[in-house]
A and B are shown apart, each in its own frame.
Chain A
Amino acid sequence: MNEPIMTDMRSEYSKSLIQLGKENPNVVVLGADTTDSLKTSGFGKEFPNRFFNVGIAEANLVTLSAGLAASGKISFASTYAIFLPGRAVDQIRNNIAYPSPPGKKGLNVKLVTSHGGLSVGPDGGSHQTIEDIAIMRVIPNFRVFIPADTVAVSNLTPLMAREYGPFYMRMARSKTPLVHSDSQEFQIGKGITLRDGSDCTIAACGITVRMALEAAESLQQEGISCRVLDMFSIKPIDNEILEKAARETGCIVTTEEHNIIGGMGSAVTESVSESYPVPIKRIGAQDMFGESARDDEVPLLLEKHGITSFNMVKQVKEIRSKKL
């Protein structure tokens, strides 16, 4: 494969927000002392009366966003992933997801976080959330995205603004390789087939999508045809694309930088077990916490949890032998 083009999700998020701010006066943006890091401060410079920095107070951040949404605003609240679902789950549940105005489900708040998963690196295990998808997935009325690249971010941000209701979107800290073409379309609950294949499927999300593509490339050289799905929409999950993959390829490997318990892999397993059960292997954090790693050491940290294209190749080969 070609050398990847690396781009920054937070810059893309910032650009999208400013664009939304111009188009819709109801868009408001909130932060919690991480607005320079998340780059939402750019929105604040453009629209100072629609930008609120509440300081290091995530619970307050979440509930304030809900109050604004209750009065017709479209709230984008952002900070690091570890501090939103991890810290303010009560407020997320009771102030955003639960309150449902007549005919609606939940309030119109978009929680967009950065620094998801293990690839956060040097800050260490305290900052590497491997639980957020599990937490957010279980809360009714929430929809959950993990974009793989900046194309996804620039599509999903306005999509969330257009679509009423609570969303959670988790971005990565470091620059991520482009995997989508500029013309790629994104729909809620629709996975994207990035590469077709008939012997096995790798369902990936976030930074692992590029790894999955690399794994498929190397499997190809060994004569194994591997399908690659970007399952950016973890909730709702695309049951159709998964059932099709199960029927046509007979086995699935999932991969994510999240605990294998409760994450995208679990969502895929739940779906396939009800539609067309086939063997599934989940790659991800092995139910243990992360740890510090310099940026150039992040691959080592990921490797410790088996989150590498090399391991994907290995798992695909193993699981093929278990096909029914």
Chain B
Amino acid sequence: MGLNYYQTKKNILRARKLVIKGTNAAGSGHPGGSFSMAEILGCLFNKHLKFDPNNPQWEDRDRLVLSKGHAAPGLFSNMAVAGYFPESEMETLRKFGSKLQGHPDLKCPGVEFCGGSLGTGLSYSIGIALAAKIDSKDHHVYTIIGDGESDEGQVWEAAMTASKYKVDNLTAFLDRNFIQQDSYTEKIMPLDENLDGSDISEMWKDASRWKTGDKWRSFGWNVIEIDGHRVEQIDAAITKANATKGVPTIIISRTIKGKSVEHMEDNPQWHGKAPDSDMVPIINLELDSQFMIAPSIIAGDMTNLENEIKRCVTGRADYIHLDVMDGQFVPTKTFDHNKIKELRPLTVIPFDTHLMINEPVKYVKDYVDAGSDIITVHAEVTDESSFGEIHDILKQNQVGVGFSINPDTELPEWSYKFLQSLDQLIVMSVVPGKSGQKYIEETHAKMSKLNSILKQHNFSGYIEADGGVNLENIGSVFADGARVFVGGGAIVSQQDVRSAIRDFRNEVLISRRRGLLAKANELGGIDLVNKWIGLHVIGTKQEQIKKIAQEAGYI
């Protein structure tokens, strides 16, 4: 079960920053492929792998084989976060005398496979899996292979072998990022089909063109296809894979090379190149600026919430925000934990349960059991003692801990001591009780005051903006520091949830780019601003960013 969704996300972020730190210090390395598999490794390390960093050779450990060995920084960074060695050691990456070799090596305790020469990790993993079967051990082997690597014939030799010997104690991940060293995979050696244009997103989006799953199915594998950047999908796929007996499983994970740093994303140049030192603070700020869109389903048809969930799934929501109202804390009544339990099987998207109820301490366990991924309770109906109890229950059950304040509530001083371990803080920008209200403008000022308190008390969770967030104000709400955006009327009430969510994301993106340009300008003036803009070579990003920079007067 491992860490909860939020802790996992935070560790993934930490690992990504270490990849930047390591490759920058080394002056070379492969950040692109490290980032495309960041969520896969993060989910494995933080939720599924059995290991002991103090006893790397522990016999019953699960084995992780990184067949696409060039993504070594991605593996090492996760090992550092997991406690195999100090994070500062990432600075020795690729240097003389370091155990952090250019490619994964047994010199580093905890590494299972010397990667580097591609196409061999799956065969090696089958060997490990067969040895476990001979010894009647129940540890599991997880193998990450790349899509460029799949050009190697040995991958398919191994595919046949795994199926022949029914190695169900092996789960492979295909990091399907569509890019190999020379160019897009579909131009060099198509796994799906030839790419005619140069826009990789055309392949990513068009499921009818994906053939890779069929290849593996025809080799006798259980195939699960997911979005490889969604922790909840990876998590569910691993659980399903482990429960599948008699056949090996491959989780085909569609990913984006360089994911989370815009200028690296989908850019073949970042297969094997390190970021320059002057870019590191900007990249780190960008990594810190990940955001989530959380549609609130009570803005839809309350008589058919099942359908509202489906609309959110189709719309590719990050969370589903569930407003629980009891008719007492707020005048309206919506639904309770029984309804959440009914909705839970419909999707693996995290349930962001917002309890607007009196005496939440009495009921919080019901909402845990119903399948919430995060539960937020209100400051107005808790005190130090009852929140402490809620906090502990949620932590024990690996559920994210959320705390919320109404527009006219200040963050109570008793809550300061919890800030450090809080996963989410909801700052209400309407008076809770019903959907469709206007954003209270004073919230901007409140946020700036809050930020300094949060910083002072080492808050490292996400701030969620809830109430009246729309396309006009979402950019400024992001600039205030919010990273999760609840959308009721502005998303769920719209005809097309998917395009509403996409519009939300685009607005946040503009605001984020503005913030990053400001950072570049602050650190290095026009030269650095131009350099940063110049890195954005894929698609139409560069023109869009240039425009923002011109409007802001940086260039």
Name A's B-contacting residues (CB within 8 A).
Answer: 28, 49-50, 52, 54-55, 57, 59-60, 63-73, 75, 90-91, 94-95, 98-102
Given known A64-B123, A67-B127, A70-B128, contact A100–B106 (CB-CB < 8 A): yes
CB of B80 within 8 A of chain A? no
Structural contact, B158 and A60, CB atoms closer than 8 A: yes
What is the bound-complex CA distance between A50 and B127, given in angstroms? Answer: 11
Given known A59-B154, A94-B114, A94-B117, contact A64–B124 (CB-CB < 8 A): yes
The size of the chain B interface, using a CB distance under 8 A, is: 32
Contact indicator per residue, chain B 147-173, by CB within 8 Å of chain A (1) or not (0): 000000110011011000100000000
Q: Interface segment, B44-52, B130-138, B192-200, B475-483?
A: B130-138
Chain B: minimal CB distance from A50 (Å) = 6
Structural contact, A95 and B120, CB atoms closer than 8 A: yes
Q: Which residues of A contact B484 (CB under 8 A)?
A: none
Q: Which residues of A contact B107 (CB under 8 A)?
A: 100
11 contacts between A and B (CB under 8 A): A49-B133, A49-B134, A55-B157, A63-B120, A64-B126, A64-B161, A67-B128, A67-B130, A73-B127, A99-B105, A102-B109
What is the bound-complex CA distance between A58 and B461, given in angstroms? Answer: 51
CB of B112 within 8 A of chain A? yes
Residues 105-121 (chain B) with a chain A CB within 8 angstroms = 105-107, 109, 112-114, 116-117, 119-120
Structural contact, B131 and A67, CB atoms closer than 8 A: yes
Q: Which residues of B contact A100 (CB under 8 A)?
A: 106-107
CB of B125 within 8 A of chain A? yes
Chain A: minimal CB distance from B155 (Å) = 10
What is the bound-complex CA distance between A166 and B361, given in angstroms? Answer: 63
Chain A: minimal CB distance from B138 (Å) = 13
Q: Which residue of B lies closest to A98 (CB)?
A: B114
Structural contact, A60 and B161, CB atoms closer than 8 A: yes
What is the bound-complex CA distance between A99 and B153, given in angstroms? Answer: 22
Q: Which residue of A lies closest to B125 (CB)?
A: A67
What is the bound-complex CA distance between A297 and B128, given in angstroms? Answer: 46
What is the bound-complex CA distance between A67 and B132, given in angstroms? Answer: 11
Chain A: minimal CB distance from B234 (Å) = 24
Q: Which residues of A contact B157 (CB under 8 A)?
A: 54-55, 57, 59-60
Structural contact, A71 and B131, CB atoms closer than 8 A: yes
Structural contact, B123 and A60, CB atoms closer than 8 A: yes
Q: Which residue of A lies closest to B130 (CB)?
A: A68
Q: Which residues of A contact B134 (CB under 8 A)?
A: 28, 49-50, 73
Known A67-B131, A95-B124; further 12 A-B contacts with Cβ < 8 A:
A50-B134, A52-B165, A57-B154, A60-B154, A63-B127, A63-B158, A64-B158, A66-B127, A67-B123, A71-B132, A90-B117, A95-B123
Of the candidates B123, B125, B132, the one whose C-beta lies within 8 Å of that of A59 is B123
Of the candidates B113, B130, B131, the one whose C-beta lies within 8 Å of that of A99 is B113
Q: Which residues of B contact A102 (CB under 8 A)?
A: 57, 106, 109
What is the bound-complex CA distance between A266 and B51, given in angstroms? Answer: 48
Structural contact, A57 and B117, CB atoms closer than 8 A: no
Structural contact, A101 and B106, CB atoms closer than 8 A: yes
Q: Which residues of A contact B106 (CB under 8 A)?
A: 99-102
Chain B: minimal CB distance from A75 (Å) = 8
What is the bound-complex CA distance between A91 and B109, given in angstroms? Answer: 22
Given known A49-B134, A73-B134, contact A91–B120 (CB-CB < 8 A): yes
Q: Which residues of A contact B124 (CB under 8 A)?
A: 63-64, 66-67, 70, 95
9 interchain residue pairs of minimum CB distance:
A67-B127, A71-B131, A63-B123, A60-B157, A57-B157, A67-B124, A68-B127, A99-B114, A94-B117
What is the bound-complex CA distance between A161 and B130, given in angstroms? Answer: 19
Given known A59-B154, A64-B123, contact A71–B128 (CB-CB < 8 A): yes
What is the bound-complex CA distance between A63 and B117, given in angstroms? Answer: 12
Q: Which residues of B contact A49 (CB under 8 A)?
A: 133-134
Chain A: minimal CB distance from B130 (Å) = 6
Q: Which residues of B contact A75 (CB under 8 A)?
A: 127
Most chain B CB inside 10 Å of its own CB: which residue of A50, A64, A95 = A64
Of the candidates B105, B119, B128, B160, the one whose C-beta lies within 8 Å of that of A68 is B128
What is the bound-complex CA distance between A71 and B165, given in angstroms? Answer: 17
Chain A: minimal CB distance from B257 (Å) = 24
Q: Which residues of B contact A63 (CB under 8 A)?
A: 120, 123-124, 127, 154, 158
Structural contact, A57 and B131, CB atoms closer than 8 A: no
Q: Which residues of A contact B112 (CB under 8 A)?
A: 70
Q: Which residues of B contact A94 (CB under 8 A)?
A: 114, 116-117, 120
Q: Which residue of B lies closest to A88 (CB)?
A: B154
Given known A54-B157, A60-B157, contact A65–B127 (CB-CB < 8 A): yes
